[in-house]
């Protein structure tokens, strides 16, 4: 479990770097007008700018102040936190391209850490994923595999969801399906998904709210 949390933390840090990129040096980027963009295409490309809207699920542990501070520190030209919890970043087209490349790089580095070296997960043999990050296949040694290994899927949920958001997938269409597969027999041992995880979290939140309202 310590390795899992270390991996998750490293991914969060990598994603923060990827989302932030290099400090903006161009002065020809317009500021976001502050209006909400709650519907429609989630990546809106202008002549010089790209607006990227990320789903609320990716910001559960951050306050609005934290989100805006991070955007400012890392050179985004605009940041809007919407009422539904989603966040829209405005950036140059160059930075948008860099972020997609950095996300892919962080995924590849994380996979290498999971499957190679002294910190590799004992059961993991190999990991591959589709180009759009909608599906991840983890080949495992069935003798070493345990249900605890499924927790590693959370890291892939976050990476895949970030990538799909930046690539223009609408929040309600984002999904990352993770298969744990017996490396020898090719039998699927377990399948989990980002969408199921989000729905479970939302359901849990509704239940907690209901209990609080009823005094339970």
187 falls within a domain? yes
**Burial of 107 per CB tally in 10 Å (0-12, 13-18, 19+):** buried
pLDDT > 70 fraction of the chain, expressed in percent and rounded: 72
108 falls within a domain? no
194 falls within a domain? yes
pTM for this prediction: 0.69
- Does 89 lie in the same domain as 21? yes
103 falls within a domain? no
143 falls within a domain? yes
- Does 147 lie in the same domain as 87? no
Q: pLDDT digits over 82-130, tens only?
A: 998 889 989 888 888 888 888 888 889 889 999 998 889 999 999 999 9
- Does 144 lie in the same domain as 84? no
Q: How many Cα atoms within 13 Å fall on the side-chain side of residue 136?
A: 30
The number of domains in the chain is 2
- Does 143 lie in the same domain as 85? no
Among 38, 66, 98, the domain boundary falls at 98
Phi, psi of 102 (to 5 degrees): -70, -35
Residues 6+ apart with CB under 8 A from 167: 43, 100, 132
Nearest to 20 by CA among 65, 77, 86, 104: 77
Give the structural domain span for 140: 121-205
90 falls within a domain? yes
57 falls within a domain? yes
How far apart CA 204 and CA 216 sit, in angstroms, is 14
The label of the residue with tokens 């310590």 reads 2
216 falls within a domain? no
- Does 89 lie in the same domain as 17? yes
- Does 93 lie in the same domain as 125? no
- Does 127 lie in the same domain as 94? no
How far apart CA 174 and CA 95 sit, in angstroms, is 22
- Does 154 lie in the same domain as 197? yes
Q: pLDDT digits over 143-160, tens only?
A: 999 999 999 999 899 889
Q: pLDDT digits over 40-85, tens only?
A: 334 555 567 888 888 887 787 889 999 999 888 877 889 999 998 8
- Does 9 lie in the same domain as 92? yes
């Amino acid at each position: 479990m310590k390795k899992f949390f270390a991996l998750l933390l490293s991914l969060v840090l990598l994603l923060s770097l990827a989302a932030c990129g290099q400090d903006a040096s161009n002065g020809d980027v317009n500021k976001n007008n502050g209006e909400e963009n709650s519907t429609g295409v989630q990546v809106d490309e202008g002549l010089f700018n790209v607006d990227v809207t990320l789903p609320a699920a990716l910001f559960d542990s951050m306050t609005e102040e934290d989100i805006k501070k991070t955007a400012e520190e890392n050179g985004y030209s605009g940041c809007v936190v919407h009422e539904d919890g989603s966040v829209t970043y405005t950036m140059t087209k160059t930075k948008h391209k860099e972020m997609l490349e950095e996300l892919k790089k962080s995924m590849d580095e994380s996979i290498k850490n999971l499957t190679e070296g002294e910190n590799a997960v004992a059961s993991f043999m190999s990991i591959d994923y589709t180009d759009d990050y909608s599906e991840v296949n983890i080949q495992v040694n069935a003798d070493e595999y345990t249900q605890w290994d499924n927790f590693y899927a959370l890291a892939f949920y976050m990476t895949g969801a970030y990538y799909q958001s930046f690539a223009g997938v609408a929040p309600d269409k984002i999904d990352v399906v993770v298969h744990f597969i017996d490396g020898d027999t090719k039998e699927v041992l377990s399948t989990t998904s980002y969408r199921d995880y989000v729905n479970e979290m939302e359901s849990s939140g509704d239940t907690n709210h209901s209990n609080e309202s009823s005094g339970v």
